[in-house]
Amino acid sequence: MIALGCDHGGFELKQEIIKHLKDKGVPYKDYGTYTEDSCDYPVYAKKVAEAVLSKECEFGILICGTGIGISIAANRMKGIRAALCHDCFSAEATRLHNDANILAMGGRVIGPGHALKIVDTFLNTPFSKDERHVRRINLIED
Ligand code: RB5
């Protein structure tokens, strides 16, 4: 299950991601926002982070205008590793090296074609489990 969240700046891209996940048969839960009305991104960052931390969802995807505010907010939650990625190399590397559990993107930064490739890369790349990466993640969590 993938947890989705956005503010008004990420609403349009989130709709594209929902369509994409539906087409691929990937289960998701949409934690809002559900309209383009102005709203506060930390609210949705927290909802998605809680869904991931409780293990209700394996991964989260968060989108605001830039992806910055919503990733900063999510990363305040212990155990969350939210990675702001606007390219496939970073999306792959953050899964391999950081075991990132949330992908953040900016709906005003990137187009849907590229964003959907980034989503697929993030969701389909396993954590490497290399000892050095496990050690570094544990140093973050300590
Ligand atoms: C909202 O206008 C905008 O500030 C927000 O979506 C995001 O870009 C914040 O980092």
| Span 8-27, pLDDT tens digits | 999 999 999 999 999 999 99
Q: What is the mean pLDDT of residues 99-118?
A: 98
For position 82, which CATH number holds?
Answer: 3.40.1400.10
> Which residue, 63, 117, 122, is CA-closest to 97?
122
Residue nearest to atom 7 of ligand 1 (CA): 65
pLDDT of 83 over the 90 cut: yes
**What is the Cα–Cα distance from 37 to 97, expressed in whole angstroms?**
37
For residues 72, 74, 130, 120, the Cα torsion angle rounded to the nearest 10 degrees is -100
| Residue 71 clears pLDDT 90, i.e. is over it | yes
pLDDT at 142: 86
Measuring CA to CA, which residue among 27, 31, 55 is closest to residue 41?
31
Is residue 99 pLDDT above 90, yes or no? Answer: yes
What's the pLDDT score for residue 103?
Answer: 99
Which residues are CB-contacts of 140 (< 8 A; sequence separation ≥ 6)?
Answer: 81
Q: Which pLDDT score is estimated for 123?
A: 98
pLDDT at position 64 is 98
Would the annotation count 86 as a binding residue?
no
Using DSSP bridges, classify how beta strands 28-30 and 2-6 pair: parallel, antiparallel or unpaired. Answer: parallel
Q: What angle (nearest 5°) sits at the alpha carbon of residue 75, between those of residues 137 and 61?
A: 100
Residue 116 has pLDDT above 90, yes or no: yes
Percent of the chain residues past pLDDT 90, beyond the cut: 99
CA of 129 to the centre of ligand 1 (A): 34
pTM, two decimal places: 0.98
The rounded Å distance from CA 10 to ligand 1 centre is: 9
* Residue 131 pLDDT > 90: yes
The pLDDT assigned to 135 comes to 98
Residues with CB under 6 A from ligand 1: 7, 9, 41, 64-66, 68-69
| pLDDT for 37 beyond 90 | yes
Q: Which residue has a Cα nearest atom 4 of ligand 1?
A: 65
Catalytic (active site) residue 97: yes
pLDDT at res. 30: 98
Domain enclosing residue 40, as ranges: 2-141
Number of domains the chain is built from: 1
